[in-house]
Structures are given as structure tokens and as C-alpha cells.
Amino acid sequence: MTRVAAKRDYSLLGRDAQAAVESGLAAAEWYHTDIPRKQMKALMKREDGPAIRDTILWLGSMVVCGALAIYFWGSWWCVPFFFVYGVMYGSASDSRWHECGHGTAFKTRWMNDVVYEIACFMIMRNPVTWRWSHTRHHTDTVIVGRDPEIAVMRPPDLLRLVLNFFGILDVFHATIDMVRNAAGVISAEEKTFIPEQEQPRAIRIARIWLAIYIVTIALAITMGSILPLMLIGLPRLYGAWHHVMTGLLQHGGLADNVIDHRLNSRSVYMNPFSRFVYWNMNYHVEHHMFPMVPCHALPQLHEMIKHDLPAPNKSIIEGYREMIPAFLRQLRNEDYFLKRELPPTAKPYREELHAEPIAAE
């Protein structure tokens, strides 16, 4: 396939977007590990139980920690409770938005929808806009000019990455998008992936959210305290670090413009707390290859297909030890990427499709 020009153009309306369509990279057929239909059906099976349990833990911990943070407000004792509250609000909401957006968290559709709307508000992602952007992310994963969710563009903007550990740029852009949508404006880029009939709902939700933030700010002013904002809004900043820490590992430093998730996605073994917050999205190659498999079944899927995948990183720290040097090299050479080595038991990469990116390592 034709490689895009060396200087990448990430605009969804730009040169590389057009090149991806012309070269067949857009909406291409991606590699999948073979899994017998019966086993696949068992993996895809939906359940309510695991997600109900996790949602009770998630929202329950927020209620408890939020209440204790209010109780201890004014003393240092509130800090650990805001720490937990913030991670649940500003990070666990990311994975809940994601899994419920796929409709795989719960078997019951309305439960997916309710948790999706709550999580979208917390993570400040318009539920309409982001459902469609994530659809595109799965169609054209890390295809330059097509994927609207590329977290680390090349060359990497390291300052932006650091700021986003505290949600700073994301919240700035999310606020602008919310106000713009609330004013009834859908951007040209949004129009490339949100169908026309869905756009009024994006506007309606932005208006509801804006009203909630205005009421919260008014309450804070009335009370003469930032406490209301510490519970609504600001946790998206002070609690964002965990979802950024795990999210960067998904594709950071790996290949772009390939059609094999083994080349552009990373699975990482993580501790139980991070797996709860991240809802097992550490099995990211597996998720992209089979997005129908619910998060609670991803460890089982991983065991089933790991013979065909690059070895996962053994920890978050190990992942960063390979990813950060790759980012630094990409500052000098944006064509550089980490090539994921396959085990001998795996089907090889299709060199005829990826010869140039693989050789570029």
C-alpha cells in the first residue's frame, strides 16, 4: 500500500485523509486471529452481573469518598478521599464511557445507555460525538487523517502529554466544543463522522451539560467555596492522570497506517486496581481485534490468542520504559516506531501490506 508523506497531516479533512482513502487504508480489512465460532460465541456472550458489581463499586466508592471529602473539607484529611473520588470521576469514567459505548458492558441495553451518559458527562465527551468518533477509531485505528482519536501524533507533543495528565488541554478543548455545540454549531470535522440526523442530539446534550456547569459555578460563588467544583468539573482535571497513564500505552510509539492491530496496539499486564479503573482495556490488542468481546472476558480471550500476538508488556512501568524512548526518537525522526515482535507460533505480518512500515523500524 502507498505510504503517506513523511510529514503527517492528522486533519480529518486533509491530505493524508484523502491519501488513506485512495490507498485503501481507510475501511480496510484487518487481520484477525482465527477463533472457532463456538468459542467466539462464548466469549461474546453478554452478562449483567460483572458490570452491575463494578458499577456499584465505582459509583458507591464515589458516594462514600465524596461524602467523606465534604466532611473533612478544610483539613488535609479530605485529600485521600478526593484522590479516590477524582480517579473514579476523571479516569474510571473513561473506561465506562468506552465499554458502554460499545454496548458490551451489560447485557441489558438501557443499563449500557445510562452508564454511558453518566460516564460521558464525567469525562466531558459528548455522547453523540464520541460514539461516532470511536466508531471511526475502530474502523481506521491509527490511520493518519482518518482516526480522530490518535492520542499521540508524530512528532509527539510532549508538553501536551504532560499537561493532559492533569486534563488541562483536554478540558480546555472539551469546554470549547461543549460551548460551540450548545450554540448549535457542529464543526466541519465533526460532520465527517456524525450523521446529520444525530447532530441535533449532540447539541441538546451540550446545552444540558452547560446548564449543569453554570449551576455548579453559581453554587460555588454563592457558597464562596470551590467545594461544588471539587465534586463536579474539577475531578476531570485532578483525577485524569490514571486514564491518561493507561491510555497512552494503547498505541503510543507503535506503527501507524497499518491494518494489523498487532502492529499498532499494545497489551500490558496491570495491577488489579488499574484493571478495575481501566476495565481490562489493558488487553488492547485483543479489544481491537474483537470489539464484541466484553471487558470481563478479555483476560480469557487473551489466554486464547496470545500465541498469535506480541508478548504483552509486563507492567505499566515496563510499557513506559519502551514507549518514552520511542517518543524521544520520534522527535528526531517521526517515521520511527516500535515494531512488535511476534512469537514463533504467530501468523506473520502480511509483508505485502506492511513492508514499508515494518522495514522502517
Partner 1 sequence: MSNWVEVCATDEIDEEDVIRFDHAGRTFAVYRSPDDEFFATDGLCTHEKIHLAEGLVMDDIIECPKHNGRFSYKTGEAKGAPVCVNLKTYPVKIEGGSVFISVA
Task: Return the residues of window 292-331 that contact partner 1 according to CB under 8 A.
Answer: 292
Query: Distance between CA 196 and CA 158 in Å, rounded?
Result: 36
Among 36, 188, 197, 222, binds partner 1 (CB under 8 A): 197
Burial 33-67 (b: 16+ CB within 10 A, else e): bebeeeebeebeebeeebbbebbeebeebbeebbe
CA atoms within 13 A on the CB side of 89: 26
Among 1, 23, 111, 138, binds partner 1 (CB under 8 A): 138
Q: Which whole-number Å values give the CA distances from 212 to 65, 113, 188, 264, in the listed order? A: 22, 20, 27, 38
Residue 290 interacts with partner 1 (CB under 8 A): yes or no: yes
Query: Distance between CA 120 and CA 128 in Å, rounded?
Result: 9
Query: Distance between CA 280 and CA 295 in Å, rounded?
Result: 6
The CB-of-212 to partner 1 minimum distance in angstroms stands at 23
Query: Distance between CA 251 and CA 240 in Å, rounded?
Result: 18
Task: Return the residues of window 19-48 that contact partner 1 according to CB under 8 A.
Answer: 27, 37, 40-41, 44-46
Among 49, 74, 291, 343, binds partner 1 (CB under 8 A): 291
30 vs 165, which CB is nearer to partner 1?
30
Residue 203 interacts with partner 1 (CB under 8 A): yes or no: no
Convert residues 146-185 into a mask of x (bound to partner 1 by CB under 8 A) and - (unbound): ----------------------------------------
199 vs 250, which CB is nearer to partner 1?
199
Residue 133 interacts with partner 1 (CB under 8 A): yes or no: no
Helices (H), 124-260: 127-139, 158-164, 168-182, 188-191, 199-223, 227-231, 235-238, 241-248
The CB-of-44 to partner 1 minimum distance in angstroms stands at 5
Residue 102 interacts with partner 1 (CB under 8 A): yes or no: yes
Query: Distance between CA 65 and CA 67 in Å, rounded?
Result: 5
Residue 50 interacts with partner 1 (CB under 8 A): yes or no: no
Chain positions contacting partner 1, by CB under 8 A:
27, 37, 40-41, 44-46, 102-104, 107, 128, 131-132, 135, 138-139, 195, 197-198, 290-292
